[in-house]
Amino acid sequence: MDQASAHILFSALKIAVFSIGGVRLFEEVFLSYFPLGVLIIVAIVCSVFYYRVPPPSSDVVEAILGKDLSEIDNGSSQYVVKTVAHRGAGLDAPENTLAAFKMCKDKGCDFIEFDVCLTADGVPIVFHDSSTGRMADLDLVINEKNWADLCNINLSAKHPFKDRYPQTNIPTLDQTVNQLLAAGQRMFIDIKDNDTKMVKVILDLFEKYPELESKALVTSFYPFLIYQIRRKNPNIVCSMAWRPYAFIYESFNYAQGPGPRRAKTWYLHLYLQICDILQEWLLPRVTYYFLGLSVILLHKDALGPKTILDWRNKGVRVMAWTVNSPIEKQYLAKVLKITYLTDTFTGESSTHSGL
């Protein structure tokens, strides 16, 4: 063995000895007083505290949403959001269209929820599904088509009130925001694409329309997108949507049970089950605090008085989606005292009488 090789070998042995000795010394001196589990917990808590984004002040949230329903006396004239038109009340008019948003204004609803996604050429549009087939005669995949291919599609084609709305089209995000601001309507902006490009879209939107900071709330199922948005602009009020089995099943209804499985193989299904368990456990303990959430959007079948009280004690408002039955509306508004998202204005007048 030459001298250079011997030197390298000797250096490697010294590094190994010092490394092992250092670990042993750490264990003997430090971990005897501070168990490893305690150190890990402290490290996690410190990291969450350091990297978290604090929520906006309650004054900023109230500028958008008004007082919480639980804080309002019957007959009070204070500003409060009782109903949010989900996709512009999509059962009463073709969803996510300018015509639907105008219909909401005509019916006295000044809070609109709409969905945002991107076309193949990067145009932010207001649309919910991954393709147009549910609403239109043509079935086109949104993220595979350019805006020019999508802008003239008739979204009224399959709607039950298509005679009232003979031609409605997909609007751009800019068209939607301009109309809603001009009409004095506030908005929930729901990010549908799990794409980091949406972060810049939202940040650019709030920079272009500064008044949105007091008139709009951004929401998503994807916490990473919310974190990136709020990290760069902590003035933006955000919420997160949640429902049971969101990872495992494509849909959920309490009476009918879960919908189709997302994963066809057993190991992917098991992985998604673990994701669901982690998400449900982390959301009320870590995620909401880390993101600085102001509102939590919960599936109506996942609600109960204790859940609502727990979130209120955390300083987070609860809203329910999607509530269409007049009986359910009355229970949520008059008993649980929370705002709900709805697809139809059926039963609205009786629901809010006396509130």
Q: Over 90: is that where the pLDDT of 85 sits?
A: yes
The residue behind tokens 């008044």 is: 211
Q: What is the pLDDT of residue 9?
A: 62
For residue range 266-321, what is the model confidence (pLDDT) as tens digits? 999 999 999 999 999 999 999 999 999 999 999 999 899 999 999 999 999 999 99
Each domain of the chain, given as residue ranges in start order, spans 3-33, 57-351
Nearest to 85 by CA among 331, 319, 335: 319
For residue range 222-271, what is the model confidence (pLDDT) as tens digits? 999 999 999 999 999 999 999 999 999 999 888 888 899 999 999 999 99
According to DSSP, the residues that pair with 217 across neighbouring strands are: 188
On average, the pLDDT of the chain sits at: 91
For residue range 330-342, what is the model confidence (pLDDT) as tens digits? 999 999 999 999 9
For residue range 90-127, what is the model confidence (pLDDT) as tens digits? 999 999 999 999 999 999 999 999 999 999 999 999 99
Strands, E assignment, the chain = 83-86, 111-118, 124-126, 186-191, 216-220, 238-242, 252-253, 257-258, 295-299, 317-321, 339-342
| pTM for this model (two decimals) | 0.89
Q: Over 80: is that where the pLDDT of 16 sits?
A: no
For residue range 46-56, what is the model confidence (pLDDT) as tens digits? 887 889 999 99
Per DSSP, the chain holds a count of helices (H) and strands (E) of: 13, 11
Structurally, at CATH architecture level, domain 57-351 sits in Alpha-Beta Barrel (3.20)
Contact predicate 82/62, CB 8 Å: no
For residue range 141-168, what is the model confidence (pLDDT) as tens digits? 999 999 999 999 999 999 999 999 999 9
